[in-house]
Every structure is written in C-alpha cells, then in structure tokens.
C-alpha cells in the first residue's frame, strides 16, 4: 500500500515536472535544498508509519518548516558568504540514513519471520 | 482510516518531491555547476587519453606506410637508368621538404628558462616564449642553416611555432623548457650568428635566460613526422 502511494506520487510528480517550465538558475539553489528536505520528510514519514506513531500534523509541519528553514539557511549563507546549507544537508542526510535503517530493519525482520513460518 | 491518510500524505509529498527533482534536473541540464564541472573534467581527461591513443596509432600507421612507400619505390625503380635518376630526384626533394633524417656539421644549443626566482622582476622576461624560438630559427635560417629542429620537432615550411599557455606548440606538438635547438649548416657562420654581440641570444642573456651553444661535427636531425598536404594550392604548369 505504502509502495503504491510512493510510486503513484513519483510518476505523477515526474509528469508535472516535465510539463512545468524550468526555473531561473539562482532559484535552483533553493529548490535543491528543498528537495533534500522533502526527501528527509518522506523517509521520516515512512519510518514513523512503521513505528506506528505517524502524526499528520507533525509530518506536514515538518515538511514545510524544514524546507523553509533550509532555504532560509541557504539565503543567510549566501549573504554571509558561508556555505551554511552544507550543515542542513548533513543533518538531513544523516537523518535519512537513520530512518532508512529503521525501515530496513523492519522489513528484514518481517522477511525472516515469514521464512520461519514457512519452514514450520 | 488514520493509516490511509498517512499514505495519502506521503504520496502527496512524493508528488511534490518528484516534481521538484524533475524541474531541478531540467534546469541544471547544460549548466556549468561546480559538481558537473568535476564530472566534465574527468570526461575531458577520458577523451584526451582516447585522442592520445588515436594519435599514437596514427603515427605508427604513418610510419608503416612510409616504409611501404619506400619499398615500393625501390622495387619500381630497380631496373633502368632513368628510374634511378628519378629515385635520386625523389630523395633530393624529400630532403628539401625535411622528410629525411639528416646528419652533418652544425651547432647544438640549449635554451632554458631563467633560474631566477626574484619576484620583483617581470616573470614574462624570465621564460622562453614562442617569439624567442621564432627569432632564433629566423637567425639560424639567415645564417644558412639547412636543417633545424627544436626538441626533435623538425622545422619545415609548414611549421608553426605558437604559444599554448605554459607550453609551446611546434608542428602541433607540445614542447617545453629546456629547448634543444639543432641546426646543420656552416659551423662558423651558425655559431657566429648565434653568439655575435648584439645578436638575439645577447638579449636572451640580458633576461637571464640560460643559453648554451656548442659546435658539433655530427649533428643528427630527425625527419618531419607529420603529413604535408596541398589541398588548395595547385600547380600552374
């Protein structure tokens, strides 16, 4: 069910992305960091769904607030001439790997359980 | 019901994510970003290696063809006086064009960038430029040099000596300091032309460029390895 939602979403997104016009080069920096934030949110959502503590408010607010904060950091970094967005990327990617670990463990244990049952 | 909402929310975020990624990829296509520059660099290196290999292969092929041509010439001119004459004529023309290895008396000179590291002097004066080499070649030709080579690049009538950043291109091949210039001709007149007071090397020495000129009875100059082609010029007779 989850996988279907993700695949349908991605296909729809690619179609929309191809239809929309390209954006200016300067904006693309902010979009890049927003993409990383969105990826983090997706992984976080899947992981929390597995842990059965998914909260819609937390998910949606996290998505927007994280993306906006990351973009603000990029803007600030541009003004200060420091690559602050790197910090945001490190945090997001670190969390992504954490969440991926949770997802991986869940499906691995599910898989081995099924095998045990089959053997019995 | 709560679970279903979660799926929908994740799906919607996926839509946004995929849209953003697609737009971003399309925007960055053909842009010269820092990341893509690193990739472009390695691509350039790859193609450089490829072309180098091709050039090496072509040179080997050329050498083979030249040998075969020589063989053919010999077999076709084996009998008959007139054909022998023709063969000698061919040899002479090849020598004039610089397509044969030649040996004879002449001079060998080594021109090296200045060893000075004093930064208060204009750096441009401390290195050997393409114009310096051109002037030296000119000087040697004027003194009656019959064959000239710089770092084993034979100077022929199609030779260009040009600047390419930190190296010099001769016959399209890279050469760098130290430059070994060999010339065959009258030893005394060549040596005199190079070392005379107020001559070109005089100016080079004033720029603290190291010039070492030696007379030699046995200067060996290798042939021009490129192809001499005439595409636009046609004989009028």
pLDDT tens digits in sequence order for chain B, 237 residues long: 467 777 888 888 888 888 888 888 887 776 666 666 777 778 888 888 999 999 899 989 988 988 888 888 777 777 667 777 887 888 888 888 888 899 999 999 999 988 887 777 788 888 899 999 999 999 999 999 999 999 999 999 889 999 988 889 998 888 988 899 999 999 999 999 998 888 888 888 888 899 999 999 999 999 888 878 888 988 887
- Say yes or no for a CB contact (<8 Å) between B23 and A2: no
In the structure encoding, which two tokens stand for residue B189, read together?
């007149």
Interface contact B20-A34, CB threshold 8 A? yes
CB contact under 8 A, A13 and B6: no
Which strands sit side by side in the sheet containing B102-112, from one edge to the other? B153-154, B147-150, B179-184, B102-112, B210-221
CB neighbours (10 Å) of residue B226?
Answer: 17
Q: Identify the pLDDT of residue B111.
A: 92
In a domain, A64, yes or no: yes
**Do the chains contact at A10 and B17, CB–CB below 8 Å?**
yes
How many CB atoms are located within 10 Å of the residue A93 CB? 13
> How deeply is A33 buried, as exposed, middle or buried, from its count of CB atoms within 10 A (0-12, 13-18, 19+)?
buried
| Distance from C-alpha of B79 to C-alpha of A56, rounded to nearest angstrom | 100
Q: Do A49 and B19 touch (CB under 8 A)?
A: no
Which pLDDT score, from 0 to 100, does residue B155 have?
Answer: 93
Secondary structure of chain B in the HEC alphabet? CHHHHHHHHHHHHHHHHHHHHHHHHHHHCCCCCHHHHHHHHHHHHHHHHHHHHHHHHHHHHHHHHHHHHHHHHHHHCCCCHHHHHHHHHHHHHHHHHCCCCEEEEEEEEEEECCCCCCCCCCHHHHCCCHHHHHHHHHHHHHCCCCEEEECCEECCCCCCEEEECCEEEECCEEECCCEEEEEECCHHHHHHHHHCCCCHHHHHHHCCCEEEEEEEEEEEECCCCCCCCCCCCCCCC
Check if B23 contacts A (Cβ < 8 Å).
yes
Distance from CA of B43 to the nearest CA of A (A): 24
Q: pLDDT (tens digit, 9 = 90+) per residue, A8-39?
A: 888 888 888 888 887 777 788 888 888 888 88
Cβ–Cβ of A18/B2 closer than 8 Å? no
CB pairs under 8 A between A and B: 105
Sort out which chain A residues have CB atoms less than 8 A from B3's CB and list them.
49, 54
Task: Write down the residue that tokens 């927003």 correspond to.
Answer: A34
Q: What is the ipTM of this complex?
A: 0.79
Tell me how far apart the alpha carbons of residues A22 and B27 are, in angstroms, rounded to a whole number.
Answer: 5
Contact A35, B14 (CB under 8 A): no
Closest CA relative to residue B217, chosen from B181, B180, B182, B178 = B182
CATH topology of domain B102-221: Alpha-Beta Plaits (3.30.70)
Of B211, B217, B165, B159, the closest CA to residue B188 belongs to B217
The total number of structural domains that make up chain A? 1
Three-state DSSP at A53 gives coil
Calculate Rg over the CA atoms of chain A: 18
Minimum-distance CB partner of B18 among A2, A10, A63? A10
- Calculate the average pLDDT of chain A: 86
* B227 Cβ under 8 Å from any chain A Cβ: no
- For chain B, the structural domain boundaries read 102-221
Residue A78 is predicted with a pLDDT of: 85
- Give A7→chain B minimum CA distance, Å: 8
């Amino acid at each position: 069910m989850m996988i279907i939602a993700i695949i349908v979403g991605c296909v729809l997104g690619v179609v929309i992305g191809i239809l929309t016009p390209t954006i200016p080069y300067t904006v693309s920096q902010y979009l890049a960091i927003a993409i990383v934030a969105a990826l983090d949110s997706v992984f976080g959502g899947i992981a929390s769904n597995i842990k059965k503590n998914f909260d819609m408010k937390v998910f949606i607010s996290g998505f927007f607030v994280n993306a906006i904060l990351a973009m603000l950091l990029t803007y600030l970094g541009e003004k200060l001439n420091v690559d602050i967005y790197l910090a945001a990327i490190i945090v997001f990617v670190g969390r992504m790997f954490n969440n991926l670990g949770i997802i991986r463990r869940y499906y691995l244990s599910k898989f081995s359980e099924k095998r045990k049952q089959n053997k019995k | 019901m709560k679970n279903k909402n979660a799926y929908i929310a994740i799906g919607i975020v996926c839509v946004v994510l995929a849209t953003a990624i697609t737009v971003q990829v399309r925007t960055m296509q053909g842009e010269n970003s820092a990341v893509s520059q690193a990739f472009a660099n390695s691509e350039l290196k790859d193609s450089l290696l490829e072309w180098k290999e091709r050039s090496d292969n072509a040179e080997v092929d050329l050498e083979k063809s030249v040998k075969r041509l020589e063989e053919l010439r010999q077999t076709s001119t084996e009998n008959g006086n007139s054909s022998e004459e023709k063969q000698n004529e061919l040899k002479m023309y090849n020598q004039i064009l610089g397509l044969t290895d030649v040996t004879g008396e002449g001079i060998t000179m080594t021109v090296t960038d200045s060893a000075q590291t004093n930064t208060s002097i204009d750096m441009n004066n401390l290195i050997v430029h393409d114009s310096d080499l051109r002037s030296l070649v000119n000087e040697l030709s004027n003194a009656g040099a019959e064959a000239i080579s710089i770092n084993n690049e034979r100077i022929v009538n199609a030779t260009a000596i040009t600047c390419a950043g930190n190296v010099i291109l001769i016959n399209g091949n890279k050469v760098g300091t130290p430059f070994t210039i060999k010339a065959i001709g009258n030893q005394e007149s060549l040596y005199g032309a190079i070392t005379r007071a107020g001559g070109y090397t005089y100016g080079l020495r004033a720029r603290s460029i190291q010039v070492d000129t030696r007379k030699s009875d046995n200067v060996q100059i290798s042939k021009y390895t490129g192809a001499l082609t005439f595409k636009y010029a046609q004989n009028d007779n």
